[in-house]
Amino acid sequence: MKKLKLVMIGNGMAGCRTLEELIKLAPDMYDITVFGAEPHPNYNRILLSPVLAGEMTLPDIVLNDLAWYEANDITLHAGKTVTKIDRVKRKVIAADGTEAEYDRLLLATGSSPFILPVPGKDLEGVIAYRDIADTEAMIDAARHHKHAVVIGAGLLGLEAANGLKLRGMDVTVVHLADWIMERQLDKTAADLLQKSLEAKGLKFLLGKQTAELVGGESGRVAAIKFKDGESIPAELVVMAVGIRPSTQLAESAGIHCNRGIVVNDTLQTFDPKVYAVGECVAHRGIAYGLVAPLFEQAKVCANHLAMHGIGRYQGSVTSTKLKVTGIDVFSAGDFMGGENVDEIVLHDPAGGVYKKLVLKDDTLVGAVLYGDTADGAWYFQLLKDKQNVAEIRDHLMFGSHHVGDVGHAGQSKAAAMPDTAEVCGCNGVCKGDIVKAIKTHGLFTIDDVRKHTKASSSCGSCTGLVEQILASTVGGAYQPADTKDKPVCGCTEHPHGAVRAAIREQHLLTIPEVMHFMEWKTPNGCASCRPALNYYLISTWPHEAKDDPQSRFINERAHANIQRDGTYSVIPRMWGGLTTPAELRVIADVAEKYEVPTVKMTGGARIDLLGIPKDKLPAVWADLGKGGLVSGHAYGKSIRTVKTCVGAEHCRFGTQLSMSMGVKLEKMLFGMWAPHKVKLAVSGCPRNCAEAGIKDVGVIGVDSGYELYVAGNGGIKTEVAMFLCKVKSDEEVMEYSAAFLQLYREEAYYLERTCHYVARVGLEHVKKIVVENAPRRKELHERLLFALQDYEDPWGEAVAKPVKRKEYEILEIA
């Protein structure tokens, strides 16, 4: 098949990220030609400041070296500026006459620095701060001159001032506004930052308007004069007063521009053959200057260039993170406050800490942090996801580790950690390894870090630390994962919610149907998406969709837990931890017959037979089945156990029959597949010996009935279950528990624990449906019973006639 021709004008970060994404999706679709005005391969503009400060060198910040272009068969015309686009003949022409034809054209022309239109702006020594050439000019000026003036106290201006100060220059920052970084900080935070920077030797002149740049005898700038008549010496003037989208080339070709090259949600321009990304773009009237939204644009644009046609860019919520001479600041959203909003403020000038959170209708809409920015990424995620924070409002100021936000614990530790400190214990990755990978490969997302270092790719408990290291290393380019719109896997752009909705609304019944309807990028999916699709199908259409064993993990296919040495563990079910002598004899006989090397009691009060070879599993289950024993499902994303204490059946403190209640719940839920494993516990009194407070559903007996708790987790990061409601009878316990679990089954994403699910949707959402809406609760209860009514435990192909649920006699006392 003949390749299409793709030409990209611009060789910056947004454009090259688009090519990287495109090559992943459609590596053989295009012959690619790139024109770059600078004589360099793609480099990280964000790291120009460390180069200026002497912390890095120019080779350190190259993102895609020349070998990358060659390896991907990309023709690079470096140092060649395109001067004309012929949309009729579909070709571009560079200043030196170089031409290239295109089937698709990608404009990534970036932006140009704004130069104040004042007398003397063309003098030698007056520069902008935008690229490698500007950085080299500033480094050279610092070697030969003393006085520098930076006009503009925004993000870029302060970084330039800091770098020049470290190079030994006497630096004055001139700013028109009343406080520095007025677009990123409120006045209180700005004053704290200015005071700290002044202590480092920087000078500030605020509320000053430049009238003229005065030249010396050599033709170089010598001073700057203000409209109030004051003047100061200046042998180097750096203008950092803003940028403007570079649209001249597009306008000359007749492409619609309005404060940027106008694009739609697919990043197409007025001409459907021409796409645009980056700082040159105006999307819904907004031009973005930070890297994170530009990379979001790149992903969507690549999707459409690859002709998948399912990505949509709908704008970005942005944040700013800056580190100047060791001072951390962060801001996001509408942090200025005003009418009809609430402000939560912590101000400790002596300690160098200032935090302001702005809330509207119990939703975080803005945040500004100074000094302690450890929770910046967490606040930004709350803001992006528009999460209701009513339940954590009292603790919101103190950060995620006080609130218990999953995946962000310990973020405040990251900045103080040495490079040798281990971050990811599962894969043995140190902080230094992560920082090196981020800088070497130009990483900006947590997924990128996982791919290059494996950190956070196993148990996930170190995700918060990795995110904080990433955020502090790349600053404003950090892209927190969008928990609501994250794709199921690399095979699709669709998030879990969209997949579930399509299966339900389109009545899809098989994995191939889902993949065809949703235009999966791979023909057969992968180990991440197939189990998820299989679960969504059988949970949505329990008696129509057919379970696909090959789309389950090995433990579920083998009906046993694979162990370190390759043998398997078999756990028969013991309802509520209760057993009989007959069952114990069957287990003992099987252990002897198959020479099981280890027999152990589990934490769920069951007997575990460890060390069984895979080929003996069918026979083992057959013999256990003859004795009436069914699977404990210790291997599945399913109901695991219902842990019980002895309760009022035997205990002198017991107020309710916990063993009886536990068996009823376990029998009701037997065969229930779920997004993740589910554990329950029933304690007969508030002493809570069954540890119900850290279970997915916890039931605690009290004198007047039961208290129900949900979304607990006793795993790597313990989550205390949250109080749901109080009920009076066993029947209500079963109804409310079933309703909650069915809601979880229908709304949670695959591999999302109940604690993560409730954190995402909010406990109030669960209460409104399960506790306050009786008809809806009963519907959920009935749907769960309907899904489980015909469940039989097959143990693979081991038993010809599966054994159904066994009935037990439970001792009940008056």
Over residues 282-296, mean pLDDT: 88
* Cβ pair 161, 149 in contact under 8 A: no
The listed range with the strongest mean pLDDT (38-52, 86-100, 183-197) is: 86-100
Given a cut of 90, whether residue 766 has pLDDT beyond it is: yes
**Range with the poorest average pLDDT among 198-207, 278-287, 443-452:** 443-452
pLDDT above 80: residue 159:
yes
Q: Is 462 annotated as a binding residue?
A: no
SS3 (DSSP) at 510? coil
Residue from 246, 18, 263 nearest 110 by CA: 246
DSSP 156-206: HHHHHHHHHHHTT-EEEEEESSSSTTTTTS-HHHHHHHHHHHHHTT-EEEE
Q: Do residues 651 and 720 touch, judged by C-beta distance below 8 A?
A: no
Angle, vertex CA 624, rays to CA 620 and CA 628, nearest 5? 160
Band of residue 615 on the pLDDT scale cut at 50, 70, 90: confident
| pLDDT recorded at residue 326 | 63
Among 95, 73, 75, smallest CA distance to 83 is for: 95
Considering Cα of 146, then 151, then 157, then 158, what sign does the dihedral take?
positive
Considering the chain, what is the average pLDDT of its residues?
87
Q: What is the pLDDT of residue 760?
A: 87
Look at residue 661 in the predicted model and tell me its pLDDT: 93
- Percent over 70 (pLDDT), the chain: 91
Whose structure tokens read 């609430």? Answer: 342
Calculate mean pLDDT across residues 549-553: 83
d(CA 659, CA 682): 8
Q: Residue 486 in contact with residue 756, Cβ under 8 Å? A: no
Q: Which of 674, 590, 608 is nearest to 638 (CA)?
A: 674
On whether the CB atoms of residues 383 and 360 are closer than 8 A, the answer is no
Q: Kindly list the structural domains of the chain, giving each domain's residue range(s) and its CATH number in brackets, ordered by start.
A: 4-110+245-305 (3.50.50.60), 126-241 (3.50.50.60), 496-552 (no CATH), 555-626 (3.90.480.10), 639-788 (3.30.413.10)
Q: How many CA atoms lie within 13 A of 774 on its CB side?
A: 1
Q: Is 645 annotated as a binding residue?
A: yes
In angstroms, the CA 265 to CA 393 distance is 35
Helix axes of 763-770 and 754-761: crossing angle, nearest 10 degrees: 90
Distant-in-sequence, close-in-space partners of 408: CB < 8 Å, separation ≥ 6:
375, 377, 378, 400, 401, 463, 464, 467
> Which residue bears the tokens 């495109």?
22
- What's residue 392's pLDDT? 87
DSSP state of 199: H
Q: Is the dihedral of CA 67, 69, 72, 73 positive or negative?
A: negative
Share of the chain above pLDDT 90, in %: 51
| Average of per-residue pLDDT across 259-279 | 96
- Amino acid, single-letter form, for residue 250: A
Q: Is the pLDDT of residue 203 over 80?
A: yes
Mean pLDDT of 159-173: 94
Residue 803 has pLDDT above 80, yes or no: no
Sole residue written with tokens 């990251």: 414
| CA geometry: angle 779, 782, 787, nearest 5 deg | 125
pLDDT at 1: 65
What are the C-alpha distances in Å from 675 to residues 536, 707, 709, 723, 754?
8, 25, 19, 22, 9
pLDDT band at 812 (very low <50, low <70, confident <90, very high): very low
CA separation (Å) from 326 to 322, 371, 471, 477, 619? 9, 9, 14, 18, 65
Residue (of 290, 331, 378, 323) closest to 189 by Cα position: 331
- Confidence band for 809, pLDDT divided at 50, 70 and 90: very low
pLDDT exceeds cutoff 60 at 682:
yes
pLDDT of residue 477: 57
Planar angle of CA 33, 39, 40, nearest 5 degrees: 80
In terms of Cβ atoms closer than 10 Å to its own Cβ (0-12, 13-18, 19+), residue 166 is middle
Residue 665 confidence (pLDDT) above 90: yes
Q: What is the pLDDT of residue 57?
A: 85
pLDDT band at 648 (very low <50, low <70, confident <90, very high): confident
Indicate if the pLDDT at residue 804 is higher than 60. no
- Return the structure tokens found at 553: 């993990």
Q: pLDDT class for 508, splitting at 50, 70, 90?
A: very high
pLDDT at residue 481, rounded to an integer: 57
What is the model's pLDDT at position 751?
87
Distance CA 211, CA 225 (A): 6
Which stretch, 30-39, 460-469, 528-537, has highest mean pLDDT?
30-39
pLDDT at residue 810 in the model:
35
Find out whether 206 and 237 touch, Cβ atoms under 8 Å: no
Q: Which residue has the tokens 């530790």?
A: 413
Are residues 739 and 781 in contact, defined by beta-carbon separation less than 8 angstroms? yes
In whole angstroms, give the CA distance from residue 620 to residue 344. Answer: 62
Q: Three-state SS for 182? A: coil
Per-residue model confidence (pLDDT) at position 208: 94
Average pLDDT over residues 498-512: 92
- How high is the pLDDT of residue 96? 96
Res. 571 pLDDT band, cuts 50 70 90:
confident
| Range picked from 344-348, 482-486, 569-573, 646-650 for highest mean pLDDT | 344-348
Q: Average pLDDT for residues 251-261, to the nearest whole number? A: 96
- How do beta strands 422-424 and 429-430 pair? antiparallel
Token output for 611: 């060390």
Greater pLDDT, 650 or 136: 136
Query: Judging by beta carbons within 10 Å of its beta carbon (0-12, 13-18, 19+), is residue 346 exposed, middle or buried?
Result: middle
The DSSP code for 355 is E
Q: Could you give the CA distance from residue 543 to residue 545 in angstroms, rounded to a whole number?
A: 6
| pLDDT over threshold 90, residue 711 | yes
* Strand order across the 126-128 sheet: 126-128, 236-239, 147-151, 170-175, 203-206
Q: Where are the alpha helices (DSSP H) in 226-319?
A: 248-252, 291-305
Asked whether residue 482 carries a pLDDT value surpassing 60, the answer given is no
Neighbours of 259 (CB within 10 A): 12
| Cα-Cα-Cα-Cα dihedral sign, residues 641, 646, 649, 654 | negative
pLDDT tens digits for range 356-367: 999 999 999 999
Provide the 3-class DSSP secondary structure of residue 597.
coil
Q: What would the DSSP string read from start to end of 523-571?
A: SS--TTHHHHHHHHHHHHSTTTSPP-GGGS-HHHHHTSEE-TTS-EEE-
Taking alpha carbons only, the member of 77, 69, 121, 124 closest to residue 97 is: 77
Q: How confident is the model at residue 758 (pLDDT cuts 50, 70, 90)?
A: very high
Please write the tens of the pLDDT for every residue from 770-790: 999 999 999 999 999 998 887
Tell me what the mean pLDDT of segment 327-355 comes to: 88
d(CA 339, CA 670): 54
- Which residues does residue 324 pair with via DSSP β-bridges, in sequence order? 327
For residue 156, the model assigns a pLDDT of: 87
Q: Which H or E run contains 768?
A: helix 763-770
Higher-confidence position of 720 and 473 = 720
Backbone dihedral region for residue 407 (phi beyond 0: left; psi -120 to 50: alpha; all else: beta): left
pLDDT at residue 798 tops 60:
no
Considering the entire predicted model, what is its pTM? 0.59
Is 424 annotated in some ligand binding site?
no
Tokens 């033709």 appear where? Answer: 219
Listed in order, strand segments (DSSP E) in 246-285 are 261-263, 274-276, 281-283
Question: Which of 120-124, 355-359, 578-582 bottoms out in mean pLDDT, i.e. has the lowest?
Answer: 578-582
Angle between helical axes of 463-474 and 376-385 (0-180°, round to 10): 100
Of the candidate ranges 71-75, 597-601, 729-733, 767-771, the one whose mean pLDDT is the lowest: 597-601
Interhelix angle 617-626/581-593, rounded to 10 degrees, is 150
The span from the first CA to the last CA of the chain, in angstroms, equals: 80
Q: ∠754-756-758 over CA atoms, to 5°?
A: 65
Q: Is the pLDDT of residue 564 over 80?
A: no
List the single range of 102-106, 205-209, 638-642 with lowest mean pLDDT.
638-642
**770, 591 Cβ separation under 8 angstroms:** no
**CA of 277: how far to CAs of 173, 316, 490, in Å?**
32, 14, 22
For 394, 395, 722, the CA distances from 391, given in Å and listed in that order, are 8, 9, 11
Does residue 376 have a pLDDT over 90? no
